[in-house]
Amino acid sequence: MDLKSNHPAPVLTDPVPISKSRLGIHSSLLPYSPGAAFSSGMYIAIPRKKVIPSKLDDVRASGWLDAMKSSSPPRKKLTKDTSIDVGPDDSQLVYLSWMLKYPSAISSFERIMNYAKGKRIALFLDYDGTLSPIVDDPDRAFMSDSMRTAVRNVANYFPTAIISGRSRDKVHEFVGLTELYYAGSHGMDIVGPVRPSGNDDNNSNCIRSTDKQGKEVNLFQPASEFLPLIDEVFSSLVEITKGIEGAKVENNKFCVSVHYRNVDEKNWTTIAKSVHEILKGHPRLRLTHGRKVLEVRPVIDWDKGKAVEFLLDSLGLSECEDVLPIYVGDDRTDEDAFKVLREGNRGYGILVSSVPKESNAFYSLKDPSEVMEFLNSLVRWKKSKI
């Protein structure tokens, strides 16, 4: 496994561009006919603010702010029932045209299941914004009991893993189920099954362990050498942001999150500058953007996409033609997993979003309640086949 650094310095991520490789996808995987739906002005251009350089710092600050804003689109509630008297507004029309490109995984369920016939489905789920609603206090991002039941049911029928940016312990505590696998810190902290071949001895980042139920598991932590550095940076970030009202710093073990959901927008530049100030002294760390959160991560060639590949391999499913991985997530970090599934023509990414976004996913779901509906449909489909 190649864990070499590929980022020499802290970087800001940009909105995910549409890859030309989209056209190279195996047509049987595509949810729409290439060139048909978006051939006549249906394409949504996401405007980018043009920066006129004056002073370097101003440009940087403006770039930070742009990145923070584009990563954190406003939550939009779309009503399910459209009145006959009042037509849909512009944002609804834009959303509906966006859905031509990223169709609903619920209305396309039959199509997805037709492709899944004779295949084993493996399910990967993000947590925040996917299984739980995005809330003001990240410590209170609880999932509902009905969602927990849906996840338990689905995990009883399909190999299921949750891959979150949170610490593994934290996401396990939120979900509270033993029927599935957990990967924390964006996949940098995985507890997975012991490979069927049992051949992990050549990987120094793999440790055989026993979970609380006494089951033998494989602990994989590719960024373990970064632990002391992450702790140090966590303390520095707590210190440097303590004067910014509403800022919250979370230690996710192998990465640190700086939440600015409750920070007044006029202070977003201050928070970005503070984080960049800390990163200046740590070239082995980089910055990524999530929804109202800045994330400081080790510079290693590892992400949620790699975590999906690792888990498929651990499950003994990586070399099989008859496997259909499905990944459901709402964030930029989930794009790495969508990309792995798309580029390998392997499976489906499903983006959870109530606003149009460019994505490497194939399908979309509007919010966690639709995710639950999709999971319940998977269970009903599987039961009908037994």
Position 189 contacts Mg ion (CB under 5 A): no
Smallest separation (angstroms) from Mg ion to the CB of 46: 20
Smallest separation (angstroms) from Mg ion to the CB of 329: 6
Q: Is 126 tagged catalytic?
A: yes
Contact with Mg ion (CB under 5 A): which of 113, 116, 121, 126?
Answer: 126
d(CA 129, CA 218): 28
Specify the residue, 253 or 282, whose C-beta has the smaller distance to Mg ion: 253
Specify the residue, 304 or 306, whose C-beta has the smaller distance to Mg ion: 304
Smallest separation (angstroms) from Mg ion to the CB of 190: 17
| Segment contacting Mg ion by CB under 5 A, of 127-135, 167-175, 233-241, 298-306 | 127-135
Smallest separation (angstroms) from Mg ion to the CB of 261: 13
Smallest separation (angstroms) from Mg ion to the CB of 300: 21
Specify the residue, 181 or 282, whose C-beta has the smaller distance to Mg ion: 181
**Token reading at 268:** 């977003």
The full 3-state SS of the chain, as one line of letters, equals CCCCCCCCCCCCCCCCCCCHHHHHCCCCCCCCCCCCCCCCCCCCCCCCCCCCCCCHHHHHHHHHHHHHHHHCCCCCCCCCCCCCCCCCCHHHHHHHHHHHHCCECCCCHHHHHHHHCCCEEEEEECCECCCECCCCCHHHCCCCHHHHHHHHHHHHHCCEEEECCCCHHHHHHHHCCCCCEEEEHHHCEEEEECCCCCCCCCCCCEEEEECCCCCEEEEECCCHHHHHHHHHHHHHHHHHHCCCCCCEEEECCCCEEEECCCCCHHHHHHHHHHHHHHHHCCCCEEEEEECCEEEEEECCCCCHHHHHHHHHHHCCCCCCCCEEEEEEECCHHHHHHHHHHHHCCCCEEEEECCCCCCCCCCEEECCHHHHHHHHHHHHHHHHHHC
Query: Of 58, 85, 90, 126, which one is the catalytic site residue?
Result: 126
Specify the residue, 189 or 331, whose C-beta has the smaller distance to Mg ion: 331
Smallest separation (angstroms) from Mg ion to the CB of 163: 10
Specify the residue, 206 or 327, whose C-beta has the smaller distance to Mg ion: 327
| Segment contacting Mg ion by CB under 5 A, of 125-133, 257-265, 301-309, 378-386 | 125-133
Specify the residue, 120 or 291, whose C-beta has the smaller distance to Mg ion: 291
Q: One symbol per residue from 74 to 113: x for binding Mg ion (CB under 5 A), - otherwise; what is it?
A: ----------------------------------------
| Segment contacting Mg ion by CB under 5 A, of 2-10, 90-98, 123-131, 263-271 | 123-131
| Segment contacting Mg ion by CB under 5 A, of 47-55, 126-134, 135-143, 367-375 | 126-134
Position 129 contacts Mg ion (CB under 5 A): yes
d(CA 26, CA 29): 6
Considering only residues 279 to 338 of the shown chain, the ones binding Mg ion according to CB under 5 A are 330-331
Between strands 348-352 and 256-259, the pairing is: unpaired
Position 184 contacts Mg ion (CB under 5 A): no
Considering only residues 208 to 237 of the shown chain, the ones binding Mg ion according to CB under 5 A are none
Kindly list the catalytic residues. 126
Residues making contact with Mg ion (CB under 5 A)? 126, 128-129, 330-331
